[in-house]
Amino acid sequence: MSWVIYLTFALMSLALILVFIRLVKGPTLPDRVVALELIASIMVGMIGVHAIHTQTSSFIDVAVVMALTAFLAAIGFARFLERGGPRHD
Amino acid sequence: MTEWLTMIFMISSGLFMLLAALGVLRLPDLPTRMHASTKAGALGAILIMAAAAFFFADGVVVTKAIAVILFILITAPIAAHAIGRAGYFIGVPLWDGSVKDELKSCYDPETHRLVSGLETADEIEAYRKNLDIKPKVKLKQRSKKKVAPPPSTKS
């Protein structure tokens, strides 16, 4: 069981690194927003793995809040882009 | 049995998230990147929540996990739609090899209006009359300002 947990952590960390490269490189602001959204999604997964790792079911609540915040951030960024705020991409 | 299910769900979740990250890193333009991140990333989070539900096997945790799954299933397409729409409207370039852009012939970036191509003559007339109404989205305002001066100088 424990090696599965460590393997999942490793896969998700690798995914985080790859998405972070896109977040730094991303040629336009929407690309970065997509990368940030995927980072939040991966964080929800890592919180779930951590809940299984420590056998503490309260961490599922943290995952709920994380998913909610990510959704609000994505909608806020989309509105900011459509309303034409200052952009430095 | 449930332990095996938990393990399978966890490993497949990690693999799907790695797949989503690879897609975001390697695919050429914004819509294809969103195509990778939205579906595979949401499936990864859903699988982890399913693994947690199987691992704890407790009524409260299973309810919370189902709530998270439903929330992700509802919000992921909405967020992707909002970002894709914003990205198209602010003019993020598509990949050179993309074969079809069906919105291009229907969308007027100067006025931010959409037409379907099936309008009757009356509807097109009404559309031309209403062009003065400002769209809610401020996109091409700079070009509009540049276009606006010539009539005033003529008059």
Which of A21, A38, A55, A68 to mutate to test binding with chain B, by most B CBs within 10 Å of its CB?
A38
Smallest Cβ–Cβ distance between B17 and the set A37, A42, A84 belongs to A42
CA distances from A86 to A14, A80, B23, B101, B139 (A): 33, 9, 28, 27, 12
Residue B118: pLDDT above 80? no
pLDDT at B69: 93
Contact A60 B3 (CB under 8 A): no
Chain A residues with CB under 8 Å of B30 CB are 28, 30-31, 34
Q: Is residue B56 part of a domain?
A: yes
Q: To which H or E segment does residue B132 belong?
A: none
Q: What is the pLDDT of residues B20-60, one digit of tens each?
A: 999 999 999 999 999 999 999 999 999 999 999 999 988 99
Task: Look at B141 and A84 and tell me if their CB atoms are within 8 Å.
Answer: yes
Average pLDDT over residues A77-88: 80
With CB atoms and an 8 Å threshold, state whether B68 touches A75.
no
In a domain, B102, yes or no: no
Which chain B positions have a beta carbon within 8 Å of A75's beta carbon? 78-79, 82
Write down the pTM of the prediction.
Answer: 0.83
Number of domains in chain B: 2
Domain extent at residue B19: 2-89
For residue B75, pLDDT over 80 is answered with yes
> Residues B65, B125: one domain?
no
Whether residue B8 is found in the same domain as residue B72: yes
Q: Fill in the DSSP letter of residue A75.
A: H
Which of A41-45, B56-60, B62-66, B88-92 has the lowest average pLDDT?
B88-92
